[in-house]
Amino acid sequence: MSAQMRTLLVGYDLVKPGKDYSRLIKHLEEYKTYWHNLDSTWFIRTTKSASAVRTELKSFVDTNDRLLVLDVTSDDWATYGFSKAASDWLQKFV
């Protein structure tokens, strides 16, 4: 039996100005199915739990940064001002 795919929202607040967070972004892009239309907010598709993803991402940020990982696999959502492509992704995966 395969693990269930879920959609996780990943939000971060990177406190230290000028820090290079390209490793964090590259790691998020490795999920292959992702949505990134807001600066510090991503949706990723994975079989991993929110806490497992949080643990992975902690290695890419400083101790004073903040991470939020929420399982948002649901059909209840709304947007305003997003492109058709962004809304289509949400319709398909959230």
In the chain, domain spans: 6-93
Q: Which residues pair with 70 in a beta bridge?
A: 9
CA dist., res. 71 & res. 89, Å (int): 16
pLDDT at 2: 61
Distance from the Cα of residue 53 to its chain's centroid: 9
pLDDT at 27: 95
6-93 belongs to CATH 3.30.70.240 = yes
* pLDDT tens-digit map of 31-83: 989 999 888 899 999 999 999 999 999 999 888 888 899 898 876 777 777 78
CA dist., res. 52 & res. 91, Å (int): 25
Tokens of 53: 């993803």
Q: How far apart are the first and last CA of the chain?
A: 22
